[in-house]
Chain A
Amino acid sequence: MTGEPQAPVVLSVRGLRKRYGDLEAVKDVSFDIREGETYGLLGPNGAGKSTTISIVCGLLRRDAGEVTVDGKPIDTGAVAAKAGIGVVPQDLAIYPDLSARENLTFFGRLYGLGGARLKSRIDTCLELVGLADRANERTDHFSGGMQRRLNIAIGMLHEPRLLLLDEPTVGVDPQSRNAILESIAALGREGMAVLYTTHYMEEAERLCDRVGIIDAGEIRAEGTRRELVALVGQRDEVRLTATGDLGAATKAVGALPGVGGAVVRDGVLELVVDDARGMLPRLLDAVDKAGATVRGVDVVQPDLEAVFLHLTGRALRDAS
């Protein structure tokens, strides 16, 4: 079989394990990210995403496994190899009492930049994240979204081969989130390999070329959106807007044969079923008998949320 030559692998993670006491936070995690590819780790809080990123960027010692960036092994002591990695942590890791430009200058120097190149990269990154006109303001005067954008600018300042973003849009307003996602998409197009962790299904679907669904420290499935949705098979996702005893209704429909998962969220029963058309009367009957009243019915295309529900039996956001 022939095809287009694949881009080289930038990040390779093999058999990663990390334990905190009795808790195994990362269990045999493996994945690759190629040049220009954006890979999403999608999972709820506590799934092991941040631990994985911390190990990949050499912040945390692993118990087992191997991490390489462009073939160079990465661990906590691999100082020189870290030059190829940019990190955008979940925390706003910036000095609040320095300006955006001063923060970029400081971290730029730690990344080994200096002189005209540092100045040029700072200007480029400020422009890219839309902070050029606020460059000399102290960052504690910035909105949360602006601080997040600066957080990202620091990570990509030195044009790394691999950019690690750990939930970079947490607590950000929709407008800033959109700007952040646009910036990251642009980086992928420029050839940067991006590892993006999130518990927002919409972000993973919009941004990532491939997604690894992670839960309880394990990657439960991996692939493109199409490949992952295919895991749900010919199943349909049914959403029943209902009132009354939704807890009892969820239990009742969940016990029916042909129902792959059932959760209730914001007054909506979300179900993955084998055949929506054929099962709908039985579903409505079960809900009615459980003491709830159905107000609306939607049959939708399965998405990554449905995949997570299918794989874990829980809703992604409820698990978060």
Chain B
Amino acid sequence: MIDIRKAIEIGRVNLLRQVRDRSDLFFVFVLPTIIIVALGLQFGGMTLVRVGIVAPTGDAAATALVAQIKGDSKTLDLRTVATVDELRSLVERGRLEAGVVIPNGFGAALSGTGTVSVTYLATTGALTSGVRAPIEAAVARLAAITTAARIASGATGTDAAAARPLAENLYDTVPGITIDAKTVGEAGMFAGFSGFTFGASTQLVLFMFLTSMTAAGRLVWSRKIGVSRRMVSTPTSVATIVAGEALGRFGVAMLQAGYIIAVSSLVFGVSWGDPLAAGALIALFGVVAAGVALLVGALARTPDQASSMGVFVGLAMGALGGSMIPFQVMPPLMQNIARLLPQSWTLLGIQTLIRDGGGIASVAPNLAVLAVWAVGVMALASWRFRKAITG
């Protein structure tokens, strides 16, 4: 029989001791914040692409094309460059991701009959090839308007310069051909995330586990100094002691989760999706983390050994489970390995809630896997810990 009040008391004291340990406070509160900020700044900055523009001054058509390229994009940082040579140099040295050269007399050439060329400069790479699309789209729009004005001028004998405003006005009203693009399969690595969201979700999973592991060392210490055996000598069942110690580790994991969620929401504006579903995912993962901490605390012979084991297990499972390297960029074999770990199910569940919305039903498979993990690891840990304190 488990005495709930005594189990809560054991858990409370565990949590109190964790909070009092100043060295742990750095790992629980300071380090996760630093990493979330660092990841947020890194991933947030990566999507801003610097594009140099060489364009004739005072040319309305050139100015319009530049405005069209910029559009409402938040990812393009357009910078005016004086000469083509300077632009080429900046792109080659990596100071700019790409460059666009609009030739002199651009506006007049559009009203003429000859071919007009806009030059795109970039190094090879996924990022720069991605930049080309909005530039080509802007040029294609201008080309369509120019072509229509030239055809109208040729057909009606009107001046091309006069036909151009008409073509521009009608462009958006004439039905054309559109591309209906849809994304299928796994969402992209950062799709639907701000930089802080991605960092907060991965670090939540990583630090919940790691912080629980630090509590494993404290558990070994309690065994070493005889406090655990002293608890057994009181009128408290071993089941209650095991439950209390597990509750303590669970409390530590949830304290860590609560802090990361609070800071990321209040300071960085991260939205964690449906509270009930996110709470269920995090709570179940907390039970898993508490179970592993209890198991490490039962198996290790010294607090140092528990710390080493805990850090190794925490970092290894975190890395394999997607807390360091995004699941989406892992090769198939590593994705299969990740799918065996509770970290990946938690992380993918949370990311689903953040990106796609939805509630409990949308993460039901994740919750089911985590529940199996929680029951399994807690049963194993309870058995080992019971042996450790009564053996």
A residues sitting closer than 8 Å to B (CB atoms) are: 57-59, 76, 79-83, 85, 87, 89, 91-98, 102, 106-107, 109-112, 154
- B175 proximal to A (CB < 8 A): no
Contact B233 A58 (CB under 8 A): yes
Q: How far is the CA of A154 from the CA of B9 in the complex (A)?
A: 16
- B237 proximal to A (CB < 8 A): yes
Given contacts A79-B236, A110-B236, whether A95 and B226 have CB atoms under 8 Å apart is: no
Contact A80 B235 (CB under 8 A): yes
Contact B233 A79 (CB under 8 A): no
Contact A111 B234 (CB under 8 A): yes
Cβ distance B40 to chain A, nearest Cβ, rounded Å:
34
Q: How large is the interface on B (under 10, 10 to 19, 20 to 34, 35 or more residues)?
A: 20 to 34
Q: How far is the CA of A94 from the CA of B10 in the complex (A)?
A: 13
19 contacts between A and B (CB under 8 A): A58-B233, A79-B236, A79-B237, A80-B235, A82-B235, A87-B230, A87-B233, A89-B230, A93-B225, A93-B226, A93-B229, A93-B230, A95-B13, A97-B17, A97-B20, A106-B9, A106-B13, A110-B235, A110-B236
B residues sitting closer than 8 Å to A (CB atoms) are: 5-6, 9-10, 13, 16-17, 20-21, 222, 225-227, 229-237, 390
Q: How far is the CA of A82 from the CA of B21 in the complex (A)?
A: 33
For the complex with contacts A87-B230, A95-B13, A96-B225, 11 further pairs of A-B residues with Cβ separation under 8 Å are A58-B233, A59-B232, A59-B233, A76-B390, A79-B235, A82-B235, A91-B226, A92-B226, A93-B226, A93-B229, A110-B231
Contact A110 B9 (CB under 8 A): yes
Contact residues in B for A102 (Cβ distance below 8 Å): 13, 16
Contact B225 A91 (CB under 8 A): yes
Cβ distance B91 to chain A, nearest Cβ, rounded Å:
59
Contact A110 B6 (CB under 8 A): yes
Contact residues in A for B230 (Cβ distance below 8 Å): 87, 89, 93, 107, 154
Q: How far is the CA of A92 from the CA of B229 in the complex (A)?
A: 11
Cβ distance A73 to chain B, nearest Cβ, rounded Å:
14
Contact B9 A109 (CB under 8 A): yes
Contact residues in B for A109 (Cβ distance below 8 Å): 5-6, 9
CB-based nearest A residue for B233: A87
CB-based nearest B residue for A110: B234
Q: How far is the CA of A87 from the CA of B230 in the complex (A)?
A: 8
CB-based nearest A residue for B21: A97
Contact residues in A for B232 (Cβ distance below 8 Å): 58-59
Contact residues in B for A93 (Cβ distance below 8 Å): 225-227, 229-230
Q: How far is the CA of A81 from the CA of B17 in the complex (A)?
A: 30
Contact of A82 among B5, B225, B229, B233 (CB under 8 A): B233
Cβ distance B12 to chain A, nearest Cβ, rounded Å:
9
CB-based nearest B residue for A107: B234
Given contacts A85-B233, A111-B234, whether A98 and B13 have CB atoms under 8 Å apart is: yes
Q: How far is the CA of A155 from the CA of B225 in the complex (A)?
A: 16
Contact A98 B16 (CB under 8 A): yes
Name, among A76, A97, A110, the residue most crowded by chain B CB atoms within 10 Å (CB to CB): A110
Contact A82 B234 (CB under 8 A): yes
Q: How far is the CA of A263 from the CA of B102 in the complex (A)?
A: 109
Q: How far is the CA of A98 from the CA of B17 in the complex (A)?
A: 7
Contact residues in A for B16 (Cβ distance below 8 Å): 98, 102
Cβ distance A139 to chain B, nearest Cβ, rounded Å:
11
Cβ distance A232 to chain B, nearest Cβ, rounded Å:
37
Contact B234 A95 (CB under 8 A): no
CB-based nearest B residue for A86: B233
Contact A95 B21 (CB under 8 A): no
Q: How far is the CA of A79 from the CA of B235 in the complex (A)?
A: 5
Cβ distance A50 to chain B, nearest Cβ, rounded Å:
11
Cβ distance B11 to chain A, nearest Cβ, rounded Å:
11
Q: How far is the CA of A93 from the CA of B233 in the complex (A)?
A: 11
Contact residues in A for B6 (Cβ distance below 8 Å): 109-110
Contact A94 B227 (CB under 8 A): yes
CB-based nearest A residue for B13: A106
Contact B9 A83 (CB under 8 A): no
CB-based nearest B residue for A114: B5
Q: How far is the CA of A103 from the CA of B79 in the complex (A)?
A: 66
- In the A-B complex, the 10 residue pairs with the closest CB atoms: A91-B226, A93-B226, A93-B230, A83-B235, A110-B234, A87-B233, A82-B235, A109-B9, A57-B233, A110-B236
CB-based nearest A residue for B244: A110
Q: How far is the CA of A45 from the CA of B13 in the complex (A)?
A: 34
Contact residues in B for A81 (Cβ distance below 8 Å): 235
Name, among B10, B225, B233, the residue most crowded by chain A CB atoms within 10 Å (CB to CB): B233
Q: How far is the CA of A154 from the CA of B231 in the complex (A)?
A: 11
Contact residues in A for B13 (Cβ distance below 8 Å): 95, 98, 102, 106
Contact residues in B for A95 (Cβ distance below 8 Å): 13, 17, 222, 227
Cβ distance A15 to chain B, nearest Cβ, rounded Å:
22
CB-based nearest B residue for A61: B390
Contact residues in A for B227 (Cβ distance below 8 Å): 93-95
Cβ distance A127 to chain B, nearest Cβ, rounded Å:
22
Q: How far is the CA of A91 from the CA of B225 in the complex (A)?
A: 6
Contact residues in A for B233 (Cβ distance below 8 Å): 57-59, 82, 85, 87, 89
Q: How far is the CA of A97 from the CA of B234 in the complex (A)?
A: 21
Q: How far is the CA of A93 from the CA of B231 in the complex (A)?
A: 9
Contact residues in A for B17 (Cβ distance below 8 Å): 95, 97-98
Cβ distance A59 to chain B, nearest Cβ, rounded Å:
6
Contact residues in B for A96 (Cβ distance below 8 Å): 225
Contact residues in B for A112 (Cβ distance below 8 Å): 235
CB-based nearest B residue for A81: B235
CB-based nearest A residue for B20: A97
Contact residues in A for B222 (Cβ distance below 8 Å): 95
Contact residues in B for A85 (Cβ distance below 8 Å): 233
